[in-house]
Structure 1
């Protein structure tokens, strides 16, 4: 279970003043559920995802959970550009506490999953955005979490890689859960059993996925 308690997040705009994304937002994500967070552009989906992962911090409020929550899957913003894909994967594996053969197994997984060939040993700053996303996706999936945060990650790459990404997540479901931000309602139907619609800083819960999608489409 993840409890979001009295969450407030705002940004200061130099022309229009302080803009509140959320004010005293509270809700609970029940255990064992795969959640889709949907809403119109600007509703705060990615902001909420970043707060859940610890990438961003709220002005006030708490995220209460004893579960391991991933960083946003496919996030490549933390790459060190002068390091190779292999070295970036090695760094993350070390931070996660892996050493010796277990560390090498993680790196092999990332290399095989990313499918970028010799470029895995080239500096990350030379990668295309697609290559960076492939390596970042592989790094995310190399480690076990209770919840995987997915922010449009499966829209990356060609048709083959998209199928591979979808299969990887379907294998994770059952052993872990996902919290997904997406504009693809087909992904919501295929992979989620709970929908949360963000609207004007508030949330609307739907245990019926079809009803949640219908509500979103009517906004």
Structure 2
């Protein structure tokens, strides 16, 4: 599904080198869902962006053999000067999805009314999150990437988000970052702990959680 081959990722900050992924080679297998754990600052979100292709490694390669989502709820790929509808149409065409079906789904799901035809640079953070989450759900992916987001908005809208996402997990794989252990246990059957630039793979999510608790205590 996703193959990391000797991936090296670092940042230079104030003259210091921060290694996030230290020559990682790992296969994310189809038919498995992975929970990613690590202390704050370990580089979990960077790893997610590398998996998505929204950020490139400094060396090594990332190969994808499945239809992979952008990180769920991610709005960085939307154009701020385009309206919500125009952004939906653009993304739908990029992914070869039926435009009318996608627009209708997001318009109904996001519940932002007439703002769908207003430039998204005018949206509140909540409205933008609703649009981005709805768009993530409108496109069919074989694997969903999730970075600490499974629902947005009020309780009623959050319940609707969970309902839609539960439909997707029945037919798609998941790679998820979360600090909520119950959520990881609900959605993931394998675990990865990111620490010191290395990824530690566990075939059981409970074992990954146990290691995470030890290094985070």
Correspondence for 1:126: 122
Structure 2 residue 83 is matched with structure 1 residue 74 = no
TM-score between both structures, scaled by the size of structure 2: 0.93
Q: Which ranges of 4 or more aligned residues in structure 1 deviate by more than 3 Å?
A: none
Deviation at 1:64, TM superposition (A): 2.4
CA distance in 2: counterparts of 1:51 and 1:4, whole angstroms:
9
CA distance in 1: counterparts of 2:73 and 2:90, whole angstroms:
16
Of the candidates 180, 184, 190, which is equivalent to residue 188 of structure 1? 184
Of the candidates 84, 95, 106, which is equivalent to residue 110 of structure 1? 106
Moved more, 19-28 or 32-41: 19-28
Correspondence for 2:9: 9
Deviation at 1:17, TM superposition (A): 2.4
Aligned residue-pair number: 215
Q: What secondary structure is seen at the aligned counterpart in 1 of 2:78?
A: coil
Deviation at 1:51, TM superposition (A): 0.7
Deviation at 1:155, TM superposition (A): 4.8
CA distance in 1: counterparts of 2:92 and 2:48, whole angstroms:
23
Encode CA deviations 1:107-147: one digit per residue, 9 max, x unaligned. 01011111122222222111111110110111111111111
CA RMSD of aligned residues (A): 1.4
Deviation at 1:95, TM superposition (A): 1.8
CA distance in 2: counterparts of 1:171 and 1:111, whole angstroms:
19
Q: Which ranges of structure 1 fall in alignment gaps of 5 or more residues?
A: none
Of the candidates 157, 161, 165, which is equivalent to residue 157 of structure 2? 161
Matches within 5 A, 1:164-179: 164-179=160-175
TM-score between both structures, scaled by the size of structure 1: 0.92
Q: Which ranges of structure 2 fall in alignment gaps of 5 or more residues?
A: none
